[in-house]
Structure 1
Amino acid sequence: MSCGKPHETDCSEVLDHLYEYLDQEMPEADRKKLAEHFDECSPCLEKYGLEQAVKKLVKRCCGRDEVPTDLRSKVMGRIDLIRSGETRPERAVFDGAPAAQGAQAAAPAPGEDAEPGGPSASARRNAR
């Protein structure tokens, strides 16, 4: 996304670091650069406002839920993989099991639905 105008800080760079800005997880000098960009760039400012509203909504709706202590590191690890261009981790992010490969990835576990909302394997066998 870009407004088409030249900026000291490119729109894509601003949007790549939007959540760091929202969460105040960046050096003050970088925060100032992004704040200046938002002052000049209405599309980025609009995106900032939308993401800020979503963040507040999530906090209001889910703010009381207990979060596993290692969840942040797992989520950040997955974000790093995606940013580096790797679309699939070598192992599952949340359960520590290796990521499924090939045809096994498409096959549901016994008793599970092949598709969300679809009939279970046992229901399909019974229908025959």
Structure 2
Amino acid sequence: MVARTDPADEGGPTVGLCAGMRCAALWRRRGDESTSDVFRAEGPERIRNLIRTTKGGVLVRLPCMGSCSQGPVVGVAYRPAHSATPEGATWIACADAPRTYSALVEWVAADWSRGPVTAPPSLRRRP
């Protein structure tokens, strides 16, 4: 990947949505089942719109991550300023569950301009 050349680039969150068959179907069951594009389903659409308004935000369509036995998978990482490579990803399963989804949206909407934002406790994996 090539580093960004925009001098105003402060970095920000990178959100990867699994667009594999099962995750896509699980997202669609929560919203408009007629859409064939996972990014047009209600949950991913809201995340997509949020990323559009988040300074430095990047949304990535991921291939099947193979971890969808409990629900759609989303990865969130910090992308440093002037870099195309995110670092320190946190993987979230069951991203379509209402409480998990709300925490995910709130986390992505936080101010990432000064560096990575710690995931809320409800999204952190418990030992």
Q: Which has the higher helix share?
A: 1
Which TM-score band applies after superposition, normalised by the shorter structure? under 0.3
If the length of structure 1 is used for normalisation, what is the TM-score? 0.24
Higher RCO (CA 8 Å, separation ≥ 6 residues): 2
- Between structure 1 and structure 2, the one with the greater Rg is 1
Q: Tell me the TM-score normalised to structure 2 length.
A: 0.24
